């Protein structure tokens, strides 16, 4: 497979450590011809970005990774090639901004109850237009409450841990609908990370356009199952590194990608 585009990565607009411009430069240096940036619940990276991509000879398609909940489990949905100014996408991003604000404050309350006080400004100082648990974890490390991101998640912030909190839930059907209204493609992100077969089976019956079949440092033999499943359903296959920069240091930009044919189908 000839590498054409890494379709999954995070910029500093969510929980990545590189700016959108720096990601364009990484894609260019890596020899890619196309890319998408898929921040969690925001499209802020795309402000003035198409012109900058064009200047480097790169084909940029819009992208986003939405957080959803299904049967109380977290599910990520990728959206691609939607209209960036579509109200359905912008409204959903706005809803997530409110959800995150409420949830983050709940997490800070719990941390304070567990003798780890932090202000929202401590957290905001860690960057991100969209603030997530990784930013809270970084602020905790700074205060000496944890020694690594992994420890902060394992002991305090991970699902079911003492300082975990959920806020408003956004459903899978409303997310697919918002992406479709914006003329985009709705894709199941990293399906191999979904632990429950009940949840996976339920997702496979929903009106998605495809699934993510190439992922991060995934071995080719591991994605056979997903490629076959996509073929059976007549679905698209996407792929990318899920690069986060220094926040996930074991994943390099371009670790996974799609070829030109798959890129054009999106």
Would you tell me which residues interact with ligand AMP (CB under 6 A)? 15, 40, 67, 132-134, 149-150, 153, 244
* Distance set, CA 216 to CA 97, 183, 230 (Å): 27, 27, 18
Based on CB atoms, which residue is closest to Zn ion, 111 or 134?
A: 134
Pairwise CA distance, residues 59 & 32, whole Å: 9
Contacts of 77 (CB under 8 A, 6+ apart): 65, 66, 68, 172, 175, 176, 179, 186, 187, 188, 189, 208
Minimum gap (Å) between residue 261 Cβ and ligand AMP: 29
Relative to beta strand 5-6, strand 63-70 is unpaired
Neighbour count for residue 200 (Cβ, 10 Å): 16
The alpha carbons of the chain give a radius of gyration, in whole angstroms, of 18
Minimum gap (Å) between residue 15 Cβ and Zn ion: 9
Span 56-75, contacts to Zn ion by CB under 5 A: 65
DSSP-derived 3-state class of residue 47 = coil
Minimum gap (Å) between residue 105 Cβ and Zn ion: 24
Based on CB atoms, which residue is closest to ligand AMP, 72 or 205?
A: 72
Given Zn ion, Fe ion, ligand AMP, none, residue 66, with its beta carbon under 5 to 8 Å by kind, binds none
Instruction: Look up residue 254 and give its DSSP letter.
Output: T
Based on CB atoms, which residue is closest to Fe ion, 76 or 81?
A: 76
Pairwise CA distance, residues 235 & 240, whole Å: 17
Pairwise CA distance, residues 144 & 119, whole Å: 14
Based on CB atoms, which residue is closest to ligand AMP, 67 or 86?
A: 67
Provide the mask over 4-43, with x wherever binding to Fe ion is found by CB under 5 A and - wherever it is not: -----------x----------------------------
Minimum gap (Å) between residue 28 Cβ and Zn ion: 21
Among 15, 39, 209, 242, binds Zn ion (CB under 5 A): 242
Based on CB atoms, which residue is closest to Fe ion, 59 or 223?
A: 223
Based on CB atoms, which residue is closest to ligand AMP, 132 or 213?
A: 132
Pairwise CA distance, residues 86 & 82, whole Å: 8
DSSP-derived 3-state class of residue 71 = coil
Minimum gap (Å) between residue 65 Cβ and Zn ion: 5
Footprint on this chain of Fe ion (rule: CB under 5 A):
15, 76, 189
Contacts to Zn ion by CB under 5 A: 65, 242
């Amino acid at each position: 497979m000839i590498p054409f585009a890494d379709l999954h990565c995070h910029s500093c607009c969510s929980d990545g450590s590189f700016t959108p411009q720096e990601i364009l430069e990484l894609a260019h240096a890596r020899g890619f011809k196309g890319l998408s940036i898929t921040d969690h619940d925001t499209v802020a990276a795309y402000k003035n970005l198409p012109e900058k991509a064009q200047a480097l000879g790169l084909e940029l398609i819009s992208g986003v990774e939405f957080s959803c909940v299904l049967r109380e489990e977290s599910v990520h949905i990728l959206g691609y090639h939607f209209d960036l100014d579509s109200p359905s996408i912008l409204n959903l991003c706005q809803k997530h901004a409110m959800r995150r604000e409420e949830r983050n404050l709940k997490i800070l309350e719990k941390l304070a109850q567990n003798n780890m006080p932090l202000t929202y400004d401590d957290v905001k100082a860690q960057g991100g237009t969209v603030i997530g648990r990784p930013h809270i974890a970084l602020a905790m490390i700074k205060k000496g409450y944890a020694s690594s991101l992994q420890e902060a998640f394992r002991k305090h912030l991970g699902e079911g841990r003492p300082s975990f909190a959920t806020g408003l839930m956004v459903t899978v059907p409303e997310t697919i609908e918002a992406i479709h209204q914006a003329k985009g493609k709705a894709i199941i992100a990293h399906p191999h990370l979904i632990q429950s077969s009940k949840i996976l089976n339920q997702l496979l019956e929903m009106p998605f356009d495809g699934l993510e079949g190439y992922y991060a440092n995934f071995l080719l033999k591991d994605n056979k199952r997903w490629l076959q499943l996509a073929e059976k359903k007549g679905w698209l296959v996407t792929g990318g590194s899920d690069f986060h920069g220094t926040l996930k240091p074991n994943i390099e930009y371009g670790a996974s990608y799609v070829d030109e044919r798959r890129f054009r189908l999106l």
